[in-house]
Amino acid sequence: MLQPILREEVMSQNKFVRAIFPGSFDPITNGHLDVIHRGIQIVDELVVAVGDNLQKENLFTGEERVDMIRELVKDIPGVRVERFTSLMVEFAKNIDAQVILRGLRNLTDVQYEFQLALTNRAIGGLETVFIMTGEKYGFTTSTLIREVGRYGGDVSGLIPKGIYQKLKEKLENS
Ligand code: ADP
């Protein structure tokens, strides 16, 4: 527990914390949404930042991904959605975010996220805060949803309802 005097000091700083939750969200899943819901409980503002993962080919365009997420989070106070195409830490600085928020599903994520977090601190001086996946979402990845969806598998339980419709339409037309 914090010493009373220290606690008072911390409280009196009254610091506003804006976090950035960057990802490709192609498409957004129930796992991402869960991280957003829990993330906004611990920061004052959460900016969901939609970028492009250069190692993956996009299914949805950046604009489509932004629109889909905006619709889903429009009623969550303190959450907004932005598109970025530059270096993530530069974008984070431009929007005055002090913290990067990321989700962790398993040890494979830890290995990758560990490197990413150290790199982002080295090049941008930004700390990363991690949220553990919800028990139900530990195996949910956008990559698998795209792949299973392509082969006609039922991924309706893993992504929000509206996104499932959009995914079906997209796959039918691609
Ligand atoms: P990227 O392509 O940059 O990894 P993603 O859209 O795949 O972007 O993921 C963005 C963030 O959300 C990452 O930190 C990832 O670990 C996290 N994430 C993705 N799916 C889940 C999930 N099911 N539970 C918790 N975190 C998740």
| Domain 16-138 in CATH 3.40.50.620 | yes
CB atoms within 10 A of CB 170: 16
Position 40 scores a pLDDT of 98
Task: Give helix then strand counts, H and E, for the chain.
Answer: 7, 5
pTM of the full predicted structure?
Answer: 0.92
Any idea where the domains of the chain sit in the sequence? Answer: 16-138
Smallest CA-to-CA distance from 130 within 150, 109, 148 is with 109
Q: What is the DSSP letter of 27?
A: T
* 15-35 b/e (C-beta count within 10 Å ≥ 16 → b): eeebbbbbbbbbbbbbbbbbb
Q: Using CA positions, which residue lies closest to atom 23 of ligand 1?
A: 31
pLDDT digits (tens, 9 = 90+) for 70-95: 999 999 999 999 999 999 999 999 99
Q: Which residues are catalytic?
A: 32, 56, 105, 142
Report, as an integer, the average pLDDT of 38-43: 97
Residue 10 pLDDT exceeds 70:
no
Ligand 1 proximity of 102 Cβ (cutoff 6 Å): yes
Ligand 1 proximity of 103 Cβ (cutoff 6 Å): yes
Residue 55 pLDDT grade (very low, low, confident, very high; cuts 50, 70, 90): confident
Q: Using CA positions, which residue lies closest to atom 8 of ligand 1?
A: 23
Ligand 1 proximity of 120 Cβ (cutoff 6 Å): no
Ligand 1 proximity of 140 Cβ (cutoff 6 Å): yes
